């Protein structure tokens, strides 16, 4: 095998994770086009997004754990091939059912995030890990923004099928290079996949996220919504019980209880609520006709261009965080990122009459996203044993997704609670929504203050992990590296 290059390895990881991040947001502006082209209803076409979200939420922690057990490079190549197959199927989809199936397959790409962080930790020199994770986080954050920006021009110049044809070519090349050049990790967790835990985890995630994403169409008080929420609680309790008793848990709950881990995850849940809701509602606000008393009547392409400052700021601050992290620490960067994002939403409440105001606020929000994304990943990676990196970072990504679903659902309730005769929301609905998001992001900043200081956090992680491991039979132990 050719001598591995960390630069080439990082390029492969960044390309794979960046493409998946783009796929999260790339199709959203194209949903009306897809609905018309495939002759389906608005409620049905939303499953193009919902199926992807549910699939990613299930695959991310499970395949992250598979990578910890059987090899991160091997698992990553398999995931890239799954994403390739899903994009190819989506590009050729003759009807909405096939497209939704393709999106389910693409959702496996959610595991690229934890697998990439794990490979960086295993293969890069210790002094390069933090900066590389920050740079990768910048690519992931910018990828989501780039999807919103690029969708309009791609649809305008070609058609929506090219939203998938372009990733087909990129992912195919990435998979070939990864297979040949990315080194396999020698850090492996002991044990096997706890399939009972995997089924229960999948069950409560789907039961929670499905009503959050479809509650608007089904009715929040409907039997389907309340029944699924009740099922989510029951399945979550059963999952906790099963994982606590398993010899080889899918998600080690002892790791999740570490102070640096649970506080970062809680901050990630709250931050995700604000971030995904802004991504969902700010383009719609910009596209609202001026006849509604607000908005700018922008096209899909025009609203994407207003998001360019967010995209640039996300990338720049993500790269910058890698330089600042050794000086100020990941905890302070997470607090700062959450504060920037909270201030952006707060400023947006009274200040959204002009397009330049929205663009400026978007840039401020993007700067906060870049700082927070990088710092959360670094905090988790530094706080868990090497062989738990995939599962732990996968759960952090999942909690941001869950937070995003909650934030989007709550914002939707506020925005659509009162509608004008034209069917458009009132301006007050958006201002109430932006106020809520500012509060959620401020809460994320407060939660981030509870993250233990780096030195204390690492010592606590080592002590608690070692203490917990003393009760594990030797055959199930794996050397902890923090």
Are the C-beta atoms of residues 22 and 139 closer than 8 Å to each other? Answer: no
pLDDT reported for residue 18: 85
Place of tokens 């080889």: 248
User: Residue 419 — φ and ψ, nearest 5°?
Assistant: -120, 145
Q: Which domains does the chain show, CATH number per domain?
A: 1-188 (1.20.1250.20), 194-247 (no CATH), 251-469 (1.20.1250.20)
pLDDT averaged per 10 residues, the chain (length 482)? 69 87 80 84 79 84 84 91 94 92 91 87 84 84 78 82 90 90 76 82 88 83 92 94 85 86 93 85 86 85 82 86 85 94 93 89 91 87 81 82 84 84 87 93 95 59 42 34 29
Give CA–CA dist 78/66, Å, rounded: 11
Q: 472: helix, coil or strand?
A: coil
Count of CB atoms within 10 A of residue 467's CB?
Answer: 10
Give CA–CA dist 318/131, Å, rounded: 10
pLDDT reported for residue 158: 83
Question: Which candidate, 300, 299, 266, 279, places its Cα nearest to that of 400?
Answer: 266
Tokens of 292: 């509604």
pLDDT reported for residue 455: 55
User: Residue 354 — φ and ψ, nearest 5°?
Assistant: -120, 150
Distances (CA, A) of 106 to 20, 87, 145, 467: 8, 7, 19, 39
pLDDT reported for residue 454: 62
Question: Which candidate, 42, 146, 30, 24, places its Cα nearest to that of 83?
Answer: 24
Give CA–CA dist 234/223, Å, rounded: 16
Q: How far, rounded to the nearest angstrom, does the alpha carbon of residue 43 sit from its chain's CA centroid? A: 24
pTM (2 decimals)?
Answer: 0.80
Give CA–CA dist 103/98, Å, rounded: 9
Count of CB atoms within 10 A of residue 180's CB?
Answer: 13
Question: Which candidate, 15, 49, 17, 43, places its Cα nearest to that of 30?
Answer: 49
pLDDT reported for residue 442: 96
Are the C-beta atoms of residues 394 and 341 closer than 8 Å to each other? Answer: no
């Amino acid at each position: 095998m050719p001598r591995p290059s960390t630069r080439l390895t990082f390029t492969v990881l960044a390309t794979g994770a960046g493409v998946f991040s783009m796929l999260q947001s790339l199709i959203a502006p194209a949903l009306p086009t897809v609905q018309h082209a495939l002759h389906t209803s608005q409620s049905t076409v939303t499953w193009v997004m919902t199926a992807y979200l549910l699939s990613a939420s299930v695959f991310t922690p499970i395949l992250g754990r598979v990578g910890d057990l059987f090899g991160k490079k091997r698992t990553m190549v398999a995931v890239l091939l799954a994403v390739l197959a899903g994009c190819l199927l989506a590009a050729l989809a003759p009807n909405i059912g096939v497209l939704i199936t393709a999106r389910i397959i693409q959702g496996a790409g959610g595991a690229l995030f934890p697998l990439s962080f794990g490979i960086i930790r295993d293969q890069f020199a210790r002094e390069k890990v933090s900066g590389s994770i920050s740079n990768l986080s910048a690519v992931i954050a910018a990828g989501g923004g780039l999807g919103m920006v690029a969708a309009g021009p791609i649809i305008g110049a070609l058609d929506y099928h090219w939203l998938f044809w372009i990733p087909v070519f990129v992912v195919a090349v990435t998979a070939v290079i990864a297979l040949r050049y990315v080194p396999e990790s020698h850090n492996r967790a002991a044990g096997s996949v706890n399939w009972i835990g995997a089924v229960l985890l999948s069950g409560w995630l789907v039961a929670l996220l499905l009503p959050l994403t479809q509650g608007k169409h089904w009715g929040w008080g409907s039997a389907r919504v309340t029944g699924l929420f009740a099922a989510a609680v029951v399945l979550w309790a059963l999952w906790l019980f099963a994982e606590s008793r398993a010899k080889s848990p899918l998600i080690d709950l002892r790791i999740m209880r570490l102070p640096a881990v649970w506080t970062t995850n809680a901050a990630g849940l709250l931050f995700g609520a604000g971030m995904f809701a802004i991504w969902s509602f700010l383009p719609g606000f910009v596209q609202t006709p001026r006849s509604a008393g607000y908005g700018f009547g922008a096209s899909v392409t025009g609203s994407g261009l207003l998001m360019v400052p967010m995209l640039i700021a996300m990338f720049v601050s993500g790269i910058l965080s890698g330089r600042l992290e050794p000086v100020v620490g990941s905890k302070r960067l997470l607090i700062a990122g959450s504060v920037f994002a909270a201030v952006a939403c707060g400023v947006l409440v009274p200040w959204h009459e002009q397009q330049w105001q929205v663009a400026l606020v978007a840039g401020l929000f993007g700067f906060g996203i870049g700082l927070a994304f990088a710092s959360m990943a670094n905090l988790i990676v530094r706080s868990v044993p090497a062989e738990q990196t995939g599962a732990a970072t996968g759960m952090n990504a999942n909690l941001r997704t869950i937070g995003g679903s909650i934030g989007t659902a709550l914002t939707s309730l506020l925005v659509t609670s009162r509608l004008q005769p034209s069917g458009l929301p009132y301006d007050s609905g958006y201002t109430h929504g932006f106020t809520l998001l500012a509060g959620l992001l401020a809460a994320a900043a407060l939660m981030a203050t509870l993250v233990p200081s780096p030195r204390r956090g690492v010592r606590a992680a080592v002590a608690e992990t070692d203490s917990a491991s003393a009760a594990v039979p030797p055959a199930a132990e794996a050397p902890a590296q923090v």
